[in-house]
Amino acid sequence: DKLAVVIPAAGVGSRMQAQMPKQYIPLLGKPILVHTLEKLAGLECVSQFMVAVSKEDGYFSSALLPDSRFSHCEGGQERADSVLLALKALAPSRPDWVLVHDAARPLVALDDIHQLISQCINQQQGGILAAKVKDTIKRGAELVQETVPRASLWQAFTPQMFRYEELLAALEFGLSQGANITDEASAMELQNQPVQLIAARTDNIKITTPEDLPLAEFIIQQQGK
C-alpha cells in the first residue's frame, strides 16, 4: 500500500499570541515545524509528504524540508481547507492511505505512528491516535451545568489515518455542508465511517498557548535521553 502524509501548517497561531505563526517558534533553537518534519521523515514506509503553507507566510522556505519526499502547497482558510488542498495536491501520486499530522505536534512518538499504521492496514479501517480523558469534565459557562461522564471520552490527537479517496470525499462533503470539522475523523463520522481509537502517549501535545513552549522543550530533552 502507498502511504502519504499531509502536514497542515497554514495556521496563524492566534492563541499563542506571538509575533510569528507558532509553527516557526524555536524549541531548543529549532522551529517547531522543523521538529515535526524531521520526526515524520523517520517514517520510511511513507513515499510522499505534503506541507500546507499559508500564502501570507513569510517564514517558510523549501530549505526547511528534510528530504526529496517532501513538497508544499498552499493552505486554506480553516484547517480542514488546508488538509483538502494538500490532499488535492497529492492526487497525481494516487496514495492508498493518508496520514494527517498537525505541524503543531512535534512530540509525537514514531512508535505510536507505527502502531496506527499497522492497526489501520490490518483492520482495513481508518483510525486516530487518542487518549482517554484524565480530568473530570464539566459542561457549563460561568457556572457548572453538569459533570459529563468521563468513561467513554477520548482526546483526539494526530496523526489520523484514512483511505485517501474516502477522506477526500468526506472532507469535500463536510465542507460543502458547512459542518464544524476540526479533525479528519469528524468528517468521516459525518459519513458514518468507522474510526478506530488507538491509545497513544499523552505527551503528544498540540502546542497551542505560551505555557506549552517550556513543557515541549522539556519533553524533547527527555525523549533525547
Q: Which residues bind ligand CTP (CB under 6 A)?
A: 8-15, 22-23, 52, 75-79, 82, 102-104, 206, 208
Burial class (CB in 10 A: 0-12, 13-18, 19+), 221: exposed
Distance (Å, rounded) from C-alpha 45 to C-alpha 60?
Answer: 26
Closest separation between CB of residue 122 and ligand CTP, Å? 28
Between 101 and 163, CB nearer to ligand CTP: 101
Do strands 70-74 and 46-53 pair parallel, antiparallel, or not at all (unpaired)?
parallel
**Residue whose CB is less far from ligand CTP, 121 or 171:** 171
What CA–CA distance (Å, rounded) separates 75 from 65?
16
Nearer to ligand CTP, 119 or 155 (CB): 155
3-class SS at 98? strand
- The residue whose Cβ lies closest to ligand CTP is 11
Tell me how far, at minimum, the Cβ of 81 lies from ligand CTP, in Å: 6
Beta carbon nearer to ligand CTP, 38 or 78 = 78
* Distance in angstroms between the alpha carbons of the first and the last residue of the chain: 34
